[in-house]
A and B are shown apart, each in its own frame.
Chain A
Amino acid sequence: MTKFTGTDNYVATDDLQLAVNAAVTLQRPLLIKGEPGTGKTMLAEEVAGAMGKKLISWHIKSTTKAQQGLYEYDAVSRLRDSQLGDDKVHDIKNYIKQGMLWQAFTADEQVVLLIDEIDKADIEFPNDLLVELDKMQFSVYETGETIQAKHRPIIIITSNNEKELPDAFLRRCFFHYINFPDKQTMQEIIKVHHPDLKKGMLNAALEVFFEVREVPGLKKKPSTSELIDWIKLLVADDIPIEALQNKSIKEAIPPLYGALLKNEQDVEMLQKLAFMMRRQG
């Protein structure tokens, strides 16, 4: 079996690789948590890409019900068809719409199933999927058939920690918390996204970035995806390296800060900090 070791455009740390490989080997769902913007959702795409498997994504919203992942029975159109005398009406199967789990279970080869942002759903949602994820099977009450996974899919679940997940659910998953990357990993990540970036520029940008992250009391700390966007802007706008070098954020607000800070209170705070420093200096 091929081991997942990250891809050309995704840097996976050792422990993340281990987590993915353990989940693949033991055929258990892998629950991924971490700060927003650390590449949780991307992981599933990259795992699918690296292992040459199809990706099926199930994006969870606050109104999503567990049943929708299995199947939905469209009673209304059957009723309508019966009124119109359509022949389709005699077979109930025509009115059962397959959900993402069903598709993943019945696929001809092993697929990667992403259950994205499971914490967005109702608090009982994960509990409704216990047996399905454990046994990888469910039954369709309307037709009486049992859907059994032909190949147990690789399941990757992401959570942003908006709601706590029930214990029974957690016990069935592997759990991995994506740490915020350290400077070295960050350099690797940036290199993947901006291979042509000059070394001096990269260091200067990283310096500013980590300094902004250190500012106490920020509502939303900038994360990897923001850093990548910011560097993209810096390169696109041809910002000279001098604008970043030797300047603490306390003296001057970094150029194009809007890409790093997404909250006007945070921007205000940075401005205040710079103002105070100027007065003292």
Chain B
Amino acid sequence: MLIDFFYTLKKAGLPVSIKELLVLLDALEQQVVFGSVDDFYHLSKLCMVKDEKHFDRFDLAFGHYFHDLEMIEDFESFLIPHDWLKPDWIKNLTEEEKAQIEALGGFDKLMETLKKRLEEQQKKHQGGNKWIGTGGTSPFGHGGYNPEGIRIGGEGRHNRATKVWEKRQFKNLDGTAELNTRSMKMVLRKLRKFARTGAADELDLAGTIKSTADNAGLLDLKMRPERHNAVKLLVFFDVGGSMDYHVQRCEELFSAVRAEFKHLEYFYFHNCIYEKLWKDNHRRWQENISTWDVLNTFGSDYHVMIVGDAAMSPYEISEPYGSVEHMNDESGYTWMQRLLEQWHKVVWLNPVPEEYWSYTNSTVMLHKIMSERMYPLNLDGIQSAIDNLAK
């Protein structure tokens, strides 16, 4: 029962489990849909796919699976003798259509052509060519419900259904994303230190019981502040230039981080950290913040995450006036040193896969400056980075 179908989906990389297959079979048994491929397509999609980003993969797999099946079905339909079809459809023809059939040389001629057509199709069919798809332009298509019409009708139904999955309208939603916000948040959760600070607005049940008992049974309510994550995080994002390729992943990280940490500050920089940082990319030249201020504002209890591809000219790090954008009095190296002196829990997340790091001089340099605390921006990388921060 649909086991091949199930494995086709599985092979296509859809996260399907037996549970979904059983539900689908259950639905079929309860006759939610009746023998229409179109409906079956929607039903199986409903049961098997749980995320719109997988729709495209499902459409592909479904198309693949049913393409093979259609061939078998077409083959069977050749075996239907033509006189079996005759009585029913001829009643349905209008005068106009009958005239059209006459125009094609009468009924017998039509049947002959049809037979020939079918034979021809069978041959082509064995060749693996989907001949019937072009059948729509044949004279038989004209009549609408003539013999082939029944077959074409069946086929047409297929085609209509086929269209839905061949449209593949969910193409751009698919992304074999290495990470998603959910898994990222789960990893970030490790970096939690719970503390109770702020206004006391939660009932302290244990405290209340104790103090009520102490009070000889007279109710004495105790309140306490709500528990929340006390880890403070400072994130520096590299923007522009080569970072444009990694924007989506950085956005995902950003949204995950922002949802997880209450004490979160972020700043942008370009390529390497110099004397100026900014918070709004549109106004980076008008509203920037001195890096000295940032160094002095955020205490050493902050955890620092730097996100950047570390790909630049080596001079941008090692030399004063090396920046591509402005005249920097002091080298990026000096600023990195200051940053590492102020904060001890610092990691660098690099969206470029680890195996390419060694090809870029500046990446190697920064990896060294960071004393090897540079991690790739994927799930494992974030995990190790967080482990390092939580140490």
Where the two chains meet, the residues of A that have a C-beta atom closer than 8 Å to any C-beta of B are 14-15, 18-19, 21-22, 25-26, 28, 31, 33, 75-76, 79-80, 83, 123, 163-167, 170-171, 173-177, 179
Contact = CB atoms under 8 A, between A and B. Distances in A.
B20 A19 contact: no
Interface in B1-43: 15, 17, 19-20, 23, 26-27, 30, 32-33, 39, 42-43
Contact of B32 (A25, A75, A166): A25
A19 B219 contact: no
Interface stretch (B148-156, B179-187, B335-343, B344-352): B179-187
Q: What is the predominant secondary structure among interface residues of chain B facing chain A?
A: helix
Contacts of B181: 163-164
Given A163-B181, A176-B46, A79 B32 contact: no
Nearest to B164: A15
A160 B66 CA distance: 32
Contact of A21 (B32, B185, B218): B32
Given A164-B181, A167-B15, A18 B33 contact: yes
Contact of A18 (B20, B23, B39, B170): B39
A26 B24 CA distance: 10
A76 B23 contact: no
B26 A164 contact: no
A163 B183 CA distance: 10
Given A14-B42, A25-B27, A177 B55 contact: yes
B45 to A, nearest CB: 8
Contact of A123 (B33, B47, B185, B218): B185
B51 interface: yes
Contact of A83 (B42, B170, B218): B218
A31 B46 CA distance: 10
A121 to B, nearest CB: 12
A76 B203 contact: yes
A177 B26 CA distance: 22
Given A18-B43, A171-B20, A175-B51, A163 B182 contact: yes
Given A18-B46, A175-B46, 4 more contacts: A18-B43, A75-B205, A123-B185, A163-B259
